[in-house]
Protein backbone atom coordinates (compact mmCIF):
# COMPACT_ATOMS: atom_id res chain seq x y z
CA UNK A 1 0.00 0.00 0.00
CA UNK A 2 1.10 3.55 -0.63
CA UNK A 3 1.37 5.96 2.29
CA UNK A 4 -1.73 7.75 0.97
CA UNK A 5 -3.68 4.46 0.83
CA UNK A 6 -2.58 3.64 4.38
CA UNK A 7 -3.64 7.11 5.53
CA UNK A 8 -7.12 6.92 4.01
CA UNK A 9 -7.60 3.39 5.37
CA UNK A 10 -6.92 4.55 8.93
CA UNK A 11 -3.64 2.66 9.27
CA UNK A 12 -0.36 4.06 10.52
CA UNK A 13 1.47 5.98 7.85
CA UNK A 14 4.24 8.56 7.39
CA UNK A 15 3.20 11.91 5.93
CA UNK A 16 6.71 12.66 4.63
CA UNK A 17 5.90 11.05 1.29
CA UNK A 18 6.07 12.49 -2.27
CA UNK A 19 2.43 11.73 -3.13
CA UNK A 20 1.13 13.22 0.11
CA UNK A 21 3.43 16.22 -0.24
CA UNK A 22 1.96 16.83 -3.71
CA UNK A 23 -1.54 16.67 -2.22
CA UNK A 24 -0.53 19.12 0.48
CA UNK A 25 0.88 21.58 -2.07
CA UNK A 26 -2.32 21.33 -4.16
CA UNK A 27 -4.36 22.10 -1.06
CA UNK A 28 -2.11 24.97 -0.01
CA UNK A 29 -2.42 26.70 -3.39
CA UNK A 30 -6.21 26.35 -3.47
CA UNK A 31 -6.62 27.59 0.09
CA UNK A 32 -4.34 30.53 -0.54
CA UNK A 33 -6.59 31.53 -3.43
CA UNK A 34 -9.78 30.92 -1.42
CA UNK A 35 -8.70 32.86 1.63
CA UNK A 36 -7.38 35.82 -0.36
CA UNK A 37 -10.52 36.34 -2.44
CA UNK A 38 -12.70 39.38 -1.77
CA UNK A 39 -15.71 38.47 0.34
CA UNK A 40 -18.21 39.15 -2.47
CA UNK A 41 -16.60 36.82 -5.05
CA UNK A 42 -18.82 34.02 -3.82
CA UNK A 43 -19.22 31.96 -6.99
CA UNK A 44 -15.47 31.93 -7.58
CA UNK A 45 -14.77 30.96 -3.97
CA UNK A 46 -17.29 28.11 -3.99
CA UNK A 47 -15.91 26.91 -7.31
CA UNK A 48 -12.49 26.63 -5.71
CA UNK A 49 -14.00 24.75 -2.77
CA UNK A 50 -15.57 22.29 -5.22
CA UNK A 51 -12.14 21.76 -6.74
CA UNK A 52 -10.61 21.32 -3.27
CA UNK A 53 -13.19 18.96 -1.74
CA UNK A 54 -14.04 15.42 -2.72
CA UNK A 55 -17.72 16.43 -2.87
CA UNK A 56 -19.63 19.64 -2.13
CA UNK A 57 -23.40 19.77 -2.59
CA UNK A 58 -25.58 22.50 -4.03
CA UNK A 59 -26.35 25.49 -1.86
CA UNK A 60 -23.12 25.27 0.16
CA UNK A 61 -21.56 28.45 1.56
CA UNK A 62 -18.27 28.52 3.44
CA UNK A 63 -16.87 31.70 4.97
CA UNK A 64 -13.17 32.41 4.93
CA UNK A 65 -10.80 31.84 6.43
CA UNK A 66 -10.88 28.04 6.14
CA UNK A 67 -8.16 25.41 6.57
CA UNK A 68 -7.81 21.67 5.94
CA UNK A 69 -5.08 19.05 5.50
CA UNK A 70 -5.81 17.82 1.96
CA UNK A 71 -9.40 18.53 0.94
CA UNK A 72 -9.98 15.42 -1.19
CA UNK A 73 -11.13 13.52 1.90
CA UNK A 74 -13.96 16.00 2.64
CA UNK A 75 -17.45 15.05 1.39
CA UNK A 76 -20.27 17.51 2.09
CA UNK A 77 -23.99 17.40 1.23
CA UNK A 78 -26.48 20.08 0.18
CA UNK A 79 -27.18 23.41 1.90
CA UNK A 80 -24.06 23.34 4.06
CA UNK A 81 -22.96 26.47 5.90
CA UNK A 82 -19.68 26.98 7.76
CA UNK A 83 -18.88 30.21 9.58
CA UNK A 84 -15.40 31.73 9.83
CA UNK A 85 -12.14 30.02 10.82
CA UNK A 86 -13.22 26.39 10.52
CA UNK A 87 -10.48 23.72 10.42
CA UNK A 88 -11.08 20.26 8.91
CA UNK A 89 -8.07 17.95 9.31
CA UNK A 90 -8.96 15.29 6.76
CA UNK A 91 -6.23 12.68 6.81
CA UNK A 92 -9.19 10.29 7.09
CA UNK A 93 -12.56 10.87 5.42
CA UNK A 94 -14.88 13.58 6.74
CA UNK A 95 -18.48 13.01 5.62
CA UNK A 96 -21.20 15.62 6.28
CA UNK A 97 -24.88 15.26 5.32
CA UNK A 98 -27.45 17.77 4.08
CA UNK A 99 -28.59 20.94 5.87
CA UNK A 100 -25.68 21.12 8.30
CA UNK A 101 -24.86 24.50 9.88
CA UNK A 102 -21.56 25.22 11.64
CA UNK A 103 -20.80 28.17 13.90
CA UNK A 104 -17.35 29.79 13.86
CA UNK A 105 -14.12 27.96 14.62
CA UNK A 106 -15.38 24.40 14.24
CA UNK A 107 -12.60 21.80 14.36
CA UNK A 108 -13.06 18.38 12.77
CA UNK A 109 -9.90 16.47 13.61
CA UNK A 110 -9.43 12.99 12.13
CA UNK A 111 -5.67 12.56 12.91
CA UNK A 112 -4.33 10.63 15.86
CA UNK A 113 -0.76 10.17 17.09
CA UNK A 114 0.67 7.22 19.05
CA UNK A 115 0.72 7.67 22.82
CA UNK A 116 4.18 6.09 22.96
CA UNK A 117 6.72 8.85 22.31
CA UNK A 118 9.32 6.53 20.75
CA UNK A 119 6.85 5.42 18.07
CA UNK A 120 5.47 8.95 17.66
CA UNK A 121 8.97 10.30 17.09
CA UNK A 122 9.33 7.94 14.12
CA UNK A 123 6.77 10.20 12.35
CA UNK A 124 4.12 7.48 12.44
CA UNK A 125 0.56 8.75 12.68
CA UNK A 126 -2.94 7.72 11.67
CA UNK A 127 -6.47 8.94 11.18
CA UNK A 128 -10.03 7.82 11.86
CA UNK A 129 -13.08 9.04 9.92
CA UNK A 130 -15.60 11.59 11.17
CA UNK A 131 -19.22 11.23 10.02
CA UNK A 132 -21.95 13.82 10.59
CA UNK A 133 -25.57 13.22 9.56
CA UNK A 134 -28.14 15.63 8.14
CA UNK A 135 -30.01 18.49 9.82
CA UNK A 136 -27.24 19.18 12.33
CA UNK A 137 -26.28 22.47 13.98
CA UNK A 138 -23.01 23.14 15.81
CA UNK A 139 -22.55 26.16 18.05
CA UNK A 140 -19.21 27.96 17.90
CA UNK A 141 -15.88 26.41 18.90
CA UNK A 142 -16.99 22.78 18.73
CA UNK A 143 -14.22 20.18 18.42
CA UNK A 144 -14.91 16.71 17.00
CA UNK A 145 -12.27 14.04 17.69
CA UNK A 146 -11.10 11.16 15.47
CA UNK A 147 -13.52 8.30 14.78
CA UNK A 148 -16.67 10.07 15.97
CA UNK A 149 -20.08 9.64 14.32
CA UNK A 150 -22.76 12.25 14.95
CA UNK A 151 -26.29 11.32 13.93
CA UNK A 152 -28.98 13.34 12.14
CA UNK A 153 -31.23 15.98 13.71
CA UNK A 154 -28.61 16.87 16.34
CA UNK A 155 -27.62 20.09 18.08
CA UNK A 156 -24.10 20.34 19.57
CA UNK A 157 -23.66 23.18 22.07
CA UNK A 158 -20.94 25.82 21.77
CA UNK A 159 -17.52 24.87 23.10
CA UNK A 160 -18.23 21.14 23.17
CA UNK A 161 -15.49 18.55 22.68
CA UNK A 162 -17.07 15.51 21.06
CA UNK A 163 -15.09 12.38 21.91
CA UNK A 164 -17.82 9.73 21.46
CA UNK A 165 -20.69 9.05 19.07
CA UNK A 166 -23.87 11.14 19.42
CA UNK A 167 -27.21 9.51 18.47
CA UNK A 168 -29.94 10.90 16.22
CA UNK A 169 -32.38 13.44 17.62
CA UNK A 170 -30.19 14.72 20.45
CA UNK A 171 -29.06 17.92 22.11
CA UNK A 172 -25.50 17.38 23.38
CA UNK A 173 -23.11 19.73 25.17
CA UNK A 174 -19.96 19.84 27.27
CA UNK A 175 -16.38 18.65 27.54
CA UNK A 176 -16.53 15.77 27.07
CA UNK A 177 -19.75 16.22 25.08
CA UNK A 178 -22.75 14.34 26.47
CA UNK A 179 -26.39 14.02 25.43
CA UNK A 180 -28.51 16.19 27.72
CA UNK A 181 -31.92 15.51 26.18
CA UNK A 182 -33.78 14.32 23.12
CA UNK A 183 -35.31 16.66 20.57
CA UNK A 184 -39.06 16.14 21.02
CA UNK A 185 -42.35 16.72 19.21
CA UNK A 186 -42.91 19.60 21.64
CA UNK A 187 -39.72 21.24 20.37
CA UNK A 188 -40.88 20.86 16.80
CA UNK A 189 -44.34 22.27 17.58
CA UNK A 190 -42.87 25.26 19.44
CA UNK A 191 -40.50 26.22 16.64
CA UNK A 192 -43.06 25.58 13.90
CA UNK A 193 -45.36 28.00 15.73
CA UNK A 194 -42.58 30.58 16.00
CA UNK A 195 -41.93 30.24 12.26
CA UNK A 196 -45.65 30.67 11.51
CA UNK A 197 -45.74 33.81 13.67
CA UNK A 198 -42.77 35.20 11.77
CA UNK A 199 -44.39 34.57 8.40
CA UNK A 200 -47.65 36.21 9.61
CA UNK A 201 -45.77 39.29 10.85
CA UNK A 202 -43.89 39.70 7.59
CA UNK A 203 -47.09 39.30 5.57
CA UNK A 204 -48.82 41.94 7.70
CA UNK A 205 -45.90 44.34 7.34
CA UNK A 206 -45.97 43.93 3.58
CA UNK A 207 -49.67 44.81 3.54
> What domains sit in the chain, N to C, each tagged with a CATH number?
3-205 (2.160.10.10)
Strand pairing class (178-182; 170-173): antiparallel
Query: In the annotation, is 75 catalytic?
Result: no
pLDDT at residue 207, rounded to an integer: 76
Q: Is the pLDDT of residue 103 over 80?
A: yes
pLDDT at residue 131, rounded to an integer: 98
Mean predicted confidence (pLDDT) in 6-13: 94
Catalytic residue among 64, 67, 75, 113: 113
| pLDDT tens per residue, range 162-203 | 999 999 999 999 999 999 999 999 999 999 999 999 999 999
Mean predicted confidence (pLDDT) in 139-143: 98
| pLDDT tens per residue, range 39-85 | 899 999 999 999 999 999 999 999 989 999 999 999 999 999 999 99
| pLDDT tens per residue, range 17-41 | 999 999 999 999 999 999 999 989 9
Confidence of residue 136 (pLDDT cuts 50, 70, 90): very high
Confidence of residue 96 (pLDDT cuts 50, 70, 90): very high
Strand order in the sheet with 13-14: 13-14, 124-127, 111-112
pLDDT at residue 164, rounded to an integer: 98
Amino acid sequence: MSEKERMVAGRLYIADDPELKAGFVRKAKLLQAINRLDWDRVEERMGLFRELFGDLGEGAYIEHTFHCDYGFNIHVGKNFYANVDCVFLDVAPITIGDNVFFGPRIGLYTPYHPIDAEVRNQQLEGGLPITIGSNVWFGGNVTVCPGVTIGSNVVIGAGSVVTKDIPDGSVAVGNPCRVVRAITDADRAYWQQKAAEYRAEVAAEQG
